[in-house]
Structure 1
Amino acid sequence: MRKNLFFLLISLISGIGIFTYFEAYNFLFVIIGLFVCGIFSFYKKSSLSFIFFGFSLGIFLASFSFSSYKLDKYENLDLNLLVVDKIKNQDSYTYYVLVKNENISEKSSFVSDKNFQIGDRIRANCDISWPNSNTNPYLFSYRKYLLSRKIKTKLDIKSYEKLGQSSSFFLKIKRNFRAYIDKVFGKNLSKESFLFVKSVILSEKYDKKEDLSKLGIAHILAISGLHIDLLMSFILFLLIKSNFSYKIAYPISLGLCLFYGYLISFPFSVLRVLIIYSLSFLAFLFKKGKDMEKNLILAMLIILFINPFAIFNSGFFLSFLAGFAIYVIYPKLIRGKKYSYLKKYMIFLGTLQVVLAFHIIYYYGYINLLSFFANFIIVPVFTLSLYIIFGLIFLYPILGGFLSIFFMVLDFLIKSILDVGIFLNAFKIFLIDFPKESILISFYYLILIFLIVKFKNKKLRAKNFLTLSIFIVTFSIIRDGNKPTSFQMLDIGQGDFFVLEDGGDFYLFDCGEVSYKNYSSTEKIALPFLKSKGVKKIKAVFISHEDRDHMGALDKLSREFDLGVIISNKYNKNLGKNYKFLEMKEGNLYRGKNFTAQCLENFSGDENSNSMPLLIKINGFKILTMGDLPKEMEEKIARDIDILKVSHHGSKNSTSKKFVELTSPKIALISAGRKNTYGHPSKEVLKNLKNIKIYNTQTDGFCQIDFYKNSFKIKKYVKGGFFR
């Protein structure tokens, strides 16, 4: 039965993934076909029936859930909003609201600097749209994250009227509980300790979570559901000590934990623990043996039945992987062994580290060799802190000021955790960055772990291990060995950032930055993208001219990577004050492994006229890049090309009709920001390019051109659907 449930789970996840990848297709006949195959296989008593049922069910659940959202069918509405949750940002709040209007009843979100409260009722005139998504590969998608929370839309509130507070008892309790946590810990702990406690207790965003993630200890905040495990044990212990029988104490403890789960909006780590505890209690009532492996699979299936798009939440997978390590792998490693408590604890931590390793690499792009040591030190301190936190929550209304010594101890413990984190993070040498691999590599790694632990027959284990390893290594070698030279246009907004990947070497052709308030395209897009590709060194950076939208990322890049020579013309020599500079004169040629870059001419004039035009040749194909060169200069360097990087983001001052006729490109690349105030690309330029295939970051996002011996292929990241 456990094997069949596993087949059902894997195929269900695959079915959901298939729907999201091919969202535009009509899956009705596919679902029916797979279901019929499942019935036929079930009749034949084949385990394949669970695979067919899983695929059909996954596609059906994803399709049904996705089509159930109605709000995005409208553009402008007067809506009744009920605030059900809120998150404090640096200078604003993110609100999750229940939207009601005639036939509509679904969750949505909006961002505002107004301080609404949970339970507030609002009448608002709203524009409705999809949340922002990543338009470059490997990066975080806020749109998919919100869908994992059963939210498909965002609201832009143009005007609103507060209608008062909801009469809902549960929302009132939720609001009062958060206020109570603020009251109890806000005035009795230092600010840093208070923010940490709020993150742990309320599952709120913690600004320094990345520091904990880099040490592999972010699970203490929520991922492993450790605080629910401890809370359940804590309440159960108190009830049994108060002479409650186990049969009564357990459901009371579970009920209180379920209510706590509601108060913090049921993060996946909490759901996982609560479902497993519920299944275990049912097994106890019906006198069935406890099967934690089966309960783990059932818990995952239940969550996916309720919300198939939970697969887009890293917390969902990491939480269940932690459960896999705790409930399945760890017991197998210590069963029948007379280990000391210390050795068991070390095996427990080691199991967590090993099982989570590749998925942490997949989601975060790095792993810290100090992670085991950090967990060894911090987890016991955190566990003690949690017991004190829960004790203070229960006892503060009774004892109040008499608990000051415990607040002092708690403050010391939390500061110790944070200080140890800061100290260990200072050893950058132990933090290893990895290129972004396929999620399939991570699952393959899990299968290997399972085979090693599951099969007691060493020959069988070695055979399976060897077979899978040969397959995956062969696949990786073939894939990497045939990697073509590629020219990539990042979508950074109103700026230019182009990457040339050449046989393991990386070059940049302009590296602009778009920044405002607390946002930086370099920090949010360029750096994560380059790190996800495994970049350690940038061999050379070609700068067209010194405008910020063409070279503004240089400082941040130099702090993160081994930055090679900066190449530009004599009119951009200011770059030489801070970087190793190479002047490129007219006719100069730079040679890479599989490409050449030639400076066509040096123009003098204003800052745009100073732009250095380059002719890049890859396998005989020609790319012309020009920075912001005006059209009167463009025509002087016109020649027959294959690909044109349109000058000045498509400004009307560039890319004349005559220039296009002289160069006759097959492809035009435009890098411009959405809804930019300059009106780029201009209608005039688009008209001049009307017979040429245009790839524009505004509509296509990231674009990659792969060059082969006699051809090239272009891939755009944005496909025009919800998921891409």
Structure 2
Amino acid sequence: MPVAYHLIYYAILVLLVVAVRLVHLVFLIPLVLYCIFLLKRKLIFVIAVVLCLTPLFIRPYQAYQFSSIIHGRVVDMNDASLILKTKQGKIKVLTKQKFHYQDELILKVTPVEINRKKDDGDFDEEMYLKSHHIITKMKMVKVIERRPHFSLANVFVQHFSSNKQIRSYQNMFLLGMKDEAIKSDYQVMTSLSIVHLFALSGMHITILYNILFKIFSLFLKKHHADYLSKGVMGFYVFSIPFNISLQRAYLMLIGKSLLHKRLNDLDLLSILIIAHVLYNPYVIYNISFVFSYFIYFMVILTKHIKGQSIIVYLSSLPIVLCMNASLNIFSFFLSSALEPFIIVFYTLFVFSLFLPLEYLLNLLIGLFVSMLDFTQALSSFIVLSKPTLFFIGLFYYCIFACIIQKERQRSIRKPVRFLVALMISFTIFSRYKIYTDVTMIDVGQGDCTLVRLPFDQGNYLIDTGGNVKYDLATNKIIPYLKSIGISRIDAVFISHYDYDHSGALDSLKSHFDVRKVIDKPFKKMQKGNVTIECLTTDHVFSDINDNSNIIYLTIDDVKYLFTGDLGVEGEEALMNKYGSLDVDILKVGHHGSKTSSSVEFITMLKPKVAMIGVGKKNRYGHPSQIVIKRMKNMGSTILRTDQDGSFTIRHMFKEYYILNEKS
């Protein structure tokens, strides 16, 4: 079988093999079906070749032992860290000290723990580092030696504007680097699903080629101008920090020039895919790799089809949902409208290296930021949830069915109807659950509990947690809520205003739809199968913890008690007023501190389940082993966010089930 025009079969098989190994065993199903398809087409050679290469694709990730002294070159950086390329591999080094690209450094470092993903909305740092071929994370103690080296990136930086905002956009457009000054704009671009227009990619390669070709054509013959343009672009592409989309676009451009008579576009793309996966199988977790390669694959497939732009846009939706769990209804029109603007924008940034264009660039950036603010202010986001693999499979079945039908010049009504039905079903499934969930969200050292009623009758938070080092609302709570399809919070109940219970409240109100905040005793509330009461002790204590609002929650016949940071004195006052309380599930007071959860209180409650919101290796030593022992003596099932991550107690058909990492 000739390799030319068949390389796509190899690439698809390689990706399926890697997906089985690194993503989920469910990919065995499409892998088996695809192998049957290849056998029917008598493409057994494809299976044989990939089978021989399989040990390379599924090789284990190699662990390294590092000393406290490391030596390497800076290959990427931002305001909080740099990437150092060493003999062992790339290392992420946390530092706020400023360096230059290609600086050779000898550093004294200490190891830093890599954050593992616990919940759906979490950023998976472990896979992110592996997908970028970064083998470990360190924190810089001091610089032992620093030697600068020439790089084109540094030449560019020297010619960048002194204006901070213009400089940030120059960094993003010309070097693919993002600093703190552009962070908020970049987050908005991501939420609007237009960030691909600003990340260095194939569009920018085309613009740059046209600029260089027109300039060189003034002095040289066209074929010489073509060679020189591509040579200069190659020097640029491989002289700036590694950018997977940019390199893909450039290598495709060169491949078309050199091999267009022997290989088609799909073959060239397949070679690049196989090369990337051979180098680093974890690249399938790199969102730039997935987005750039898959969207370009769809562009190639649909280049002769009417309505190509719509099909390509639809193809990106599951990827966008995996990133944001929401869609912007104007994103397609916004992308189309912005494309000519970006061409002008990028062209001006290229010329800004040689010409004084600050005034014009300032105007354009101001116009663009205003457009972002206006679009975001329209509240045009539809929160769905993160899609399941089953949904993604059905979605792309519809897309490819449309493409096949179009190629055969047949009606696409059936796959379009199925696609519409699928999206409607997914929307309903995301929002309207048939069960009630109580989820203690892992916010580290703090409390934050979500109560989600069935059929979108209501969503309530009891406390919000808080972290002085980073914005807990935008980094944890909101991504988690969106990942499970929640677009609003009907009420936030604040037990008391300690930072670890309420610190994220202001940011949550600013960045999410919060209808009401309740921080004082309130009247009994009932909604569907849920009743919420506030218990009071009729005392005012000197300790703010003992003044915590106490929430008594009933779901069907199951009783919850949320005591905030109530201490022993407050517990005693509660027992004196209410006597014996019927409690099935207890949110353990003060994160399991020994100053709460007295023997008398726990003996009176006898909870079947004890929930503890606590940070891993926290400096307070929470939860106390004395409290844990008391809970175990009562026969309570103990759930802890430091060990279980976010956990959920699901109520359905008058029963409840515990869902966590272990189960």
Deviations 1:479-526 (A, max 9, x none): 877642110111112221110111113433422342325x22122212
1:437 and 2:410 matched = no
Partner SS for 1:263: coil
- Output the CA distance in 1 between the equivalents of 2:649 and 2:44: 41
Question: Residue type of the partner of 1:222?
Answer: A
Deviations 1:169-192 (A, max 9, x none): xxx233xx23321221224xx332
Q: Any gaps of 5 or more consecutive residues in structure 1?
A: 167-171, 334-346, 397-402, 571-582, 720-724
Question: What's 1:527 paired with?
Answer: 478
Question: Residue type of the partner of 2:71?
Answer: L
Question: What's 2:652 paired with?
Answer: 708
Deviations 1:394-425 (A, max 9, x none): xx4xxxxxx44xx25xx414632441342353
Q: Contact 1:381/1:417 (CA < 8 Å) preserved in 2?
A: no
Alignment of 1:40-119 (within 5 A): 46=42, 60-61=55-56, 63-64=58-59, 66-68=60-62, 70-71=63-64, 74=65, 77-89=67-79, 93-100=80-87, 105-119=88-102
Question: What's 1:132 paired with?
Answer: 115
Question: What's 1:186 paired with?
Answer: 161
Question: What's 1:276 paired with?
Answer: 252
Partner SS for 2:159: helix
Change in 2 beyond 3 A, CA 1:564/1:196: closer
Q: Any gaps of 5 or more consecutive residues in structure 2?
A: none
1:416 and 2:372 matched = no
Partner SS for 1:182: helix
Question: What's 2:339 paired with?
Answer: 379
Question: What's 1:340 paired with?
Answer: none
**CA positional deviation for 1:461:** 3.4
- Output the CA distance in 2 between the equivalents of 1:368 and 1:468: 18
1:508 pairs with one of 457, 460, 472:
460
1:312 and 2:285 matched = yes
Question: What's 1:643 paired with?
Answer: 585
1:595 and 2:530 matched = yes
Q: Contact 2:459/2:488 (CA < 8 Å) preserved in 1?
A: no
Deviations 1:204-249 (A, max 9, x none): 0142212333444322322643222222344455556654574x76
Question: What's 1:573 paired with?
Answer: none
Question: What's 1:359 paired with?
Answer: 319
Question: Residue type of the partner of 2:401?
Answer: L
Q: Identify the range of structure 1 (194-203 vs 362-371) with the bigger mean alpha-carbon deviation.
A: 362-371
**CA positional deviation for 1:270:** 1.1
Question: Residue type of the partner of 1:387?
Answer: T
Change in 2 beyond 3 A, CA 1:15/1:634: farther
1:230 and 2:207 matched = yes
1:695 pairs with one of 639, 645, 648:
639
Partner SS for 1:84: strand
Q: Contact 1:292/1:327 (CA < 8 Å) preserved in 2?
A: yes
Question: What's 2:22 paired with?
Answer: 20
Question: What's 1:173 paired with?
Answer: 150
TM-score (normalizing by structure 2):
0.84
Question: What's 2:571 paired with?
Answer: 634
Partner SS for 2:489: strand
Question: What is the aligned length?
Answer: 643
Partner SS for 2:160: helix
Question: Residue type of the partner of 2:150?
Answer: I
Structural RMSD (CA) = 3.9
Q: Contact 1:224/1:318 (CA < 8 Å) preserved in 2?
A: no
1:673 and 2:615 matched = yes
**CA positional deviation for 1:625:** 1.5
TM-score (normalizing by structure 1):
0.77
Question: What's 1:143 paired with?
Answer: 126
Question: What's 1:487 paired with?
Answer: 438
Alignment of 1:178-257 (within 5 A): 178-187=153-162, 190-205=163-178, 206-207=182-183, 208-222=185-199, 224-238=201-215, 242-243=219-220, 246=223, 253-257=229-233
- Output the CA distance in 1 between the equivalents of 2:45 and 2:432: 38
Q: Contact 1:6/1:297 (CA < 8 Å) preserved in 2?
A: yes
Q: Contact 1:701/1:718 (CA < 8 Å) preserved in 2?
A: no
- Output the CA distance in 2 between the equivalents of 1:420 and 1:116: 30
Question: What's 1:344 paired with?
Answer: none
**CA positional deviation for 1:134:** 4.2
Partner SS for 1:648: helix
Q: Contact 2:443/2:476 (CA < 8 Å) preserved in 1?
A: yes
Change in 2 beyond 3 A, CA 1:123/1:569: same
Q: Contact 1:279/1:295 (CA < 8 Å) preserved in 2?
A: yes
**CA positional deviation for 1:388:** 4.3
Q: Contact 1:382/1:414 (CA < 8 Å) preserved in 2?
A: no
Alignment of 1:273-352 (within 5 A): 273-284=249-260, 287-288=261-262, 291-324=264-297, 326-333=299-306
Question: What's 1:613 paired with?
Answer: 550
- Output the CA distance in 2 between the equivalents of 1:661 and 1:136: 33
- Output the CA distance in 2 between the equivalents of 1:326 and 1:21: 26
**CA positional deviation for 1:445:** 3.8
Question: Residue type of the partner of 2:203?
Answer: L
Change in 2 beyond 3 A, CA 1:689/1:264: farther
Change in 2 beyond 3 A, CA 1:474/1:203: closer
Q: Contact 1:349/1:372 (CA < 8 Å) preserved in 2?
A: no
Identity of aligned residues (%): 24
Change in 2 beyond 3 A, CA 1:369/1:414: farther
Change in 2 beyond 3 A, CA 1:50/1:514: farther
Change in 2 beyond 3 A, CA 1:388/1:39: closer
Partner SS for 2:439: strand
- Output the CA distance in 2 between the equivalents of 1:237 and 1:330: 26
**CA positional deviation for 1:328:** 3.3
Deviations 1:107-139 (A, max 9, x none): 111111223344444444433244224433223
Question: What's 2:503 paired with?
Answer: 552
- Output the CA distance in 2 between the equivalents of 1:164 and 1:556: 40
**CA positional deviation for 1:61:** 4.8
